[in-house]
Structure 1
Amino acid sequence: MIRTYNNSLTSYKDPVLVQDIWDRWFQLNVVHDVEASNLKTYIDGVLVHEAQGHGGNNHYFKFGVYAQDNPSNYMESRWKGIRVLNKRSY
């Protein structure tokens, strides 16, 4: 789960992947190798985090603004060029 807290992009709540992330476009790529239980997160083409998967045999993809700590009246995310690929796609 990729989240923002205090202008920093995080994997869950820790570690911080990128600071000063608000108010700018960035490319986010996440490679989830389920069989190897491995996740790689890329920001603007640079590998910023690698971690083990959290297990399970049922996975789904979602994005958007859901909530935040101490929510404000204004939360926004903008998305373009969304592609979801799997090994059978190429």
Structure 2
Amino acid sequence: MNFSYCYALLFVVFVGLLNFSCGDPTDGFTNIPLTEANFDIQHPYNLPLADRYSYENGVRRLWVYSTDKPHSPNSRTQPRTEVRIRGYDYTSGVWQFEGYGYVPQPTSGATIAQIHGAAHDSSTIILRIYDGDMRYYSGDLIETNMYDRWFRLNIIHDVEGGKVTVFIDGVQKFETNDRGPSDDFYFKCGVYAAPKDISHYMESRWRDIKIYKK
């Protein structure tokens, strides 16, 4: 058999195995059906929901201004308009959030997705947009050039393994240790102003939000 032919055949097999092993972040997970009752929208307490949220043609649009009130009169947190997934809080197992997001300019200093709950903090992971880049809280860079395009976001939380993994458009971009056990983990997405360095206007849009469990 011709040597070059054998080499080419082995290369094709190797590439096929590599692609197979990469797979999709949802492989091996079970999709948990969501209804509209699972989507709780937190928004500035002194405004009607329609002033900061819309849901049309399958797209949830959430926006907030830096001068807005928090979501509760008793809260001292920053302004937010966020989807809080209810009905599937968890304390163990492997769980996954999936959604297609869109962040328009000039949104900056805004959390667009998070896992709420941790042993010694309010959150296990926060994904923030700063000047078009996605960061882990205000630190590690996860992805660049996020403005004005639809992207697929998958966040996997392995509670027993103590790991959180982030995928953008099906490609693993980040992995970190979680922040310890909690009696109340849950997923959120939308816009939630960071403590500082925020734009006056912040917005994100979401469609095809799903929850998976393994």
TM-score by length of 2: 0.39
Report the residue type matching 1:32 in the other structure.
H
- Misfit runs of 4+, over 4 Å: none
Structure 2: segments with no counterpart, 5+ residues: 1-125
Spell out, residue by residue over 1:43-64, the C-alpha distance to the aligned partner (whole angstroms, 9 max, x if none): 0111000111111222111111
Spell out, residue by residue over 1:61-80, the C-alpha distance to the aligned partner (whole angstroms, 9 max, x if none): 11111114344442110000
Q: Does 1:62 align with 2:188?
A: yes
Out of 38, 54, 77, the position equivalent to 2:204 is 77
Q: Bigger radius of gyration, 1 or 2? A: 2
1:1-90 maps to which residues of 2 (within 5 A)?
A: 1-57=126-182, 58-68=184-194, 69-87=196-214
Q: Distance in 1 between matches of 2:154 and 2:199?
A: 28
Change in CA separation of 1:83 and 1:21 when aligned onto 2, cut-off 3 Å = same
Change in CA separation of 1:75 and 1:33 when aligned onto 2, cut-off 3 Å = same
Higher RCO structure (Cα 8 Å, ≥6 apart) = 2
Report the residue type matching 2:176 in the other structure.
A
Q: How many residues align?
A: 87
Structure 2 SS opposite 1:79: strand
Q: Distance in 2 between matches of 1:72 and 1:41?
A: 25
Judging by fraction of residues, say which structure has more helix.
2
Structure 2 SS opposite 1:62: strand
TM-score by length of 1: 0.87
Q: Distance in 2 between matches of 1:42 and 1:51?
A: 12
RMSD: 1.3
Change in CA separation of 1:28 and 1:67 when aligned onto 2, cut-off 3 Å = same
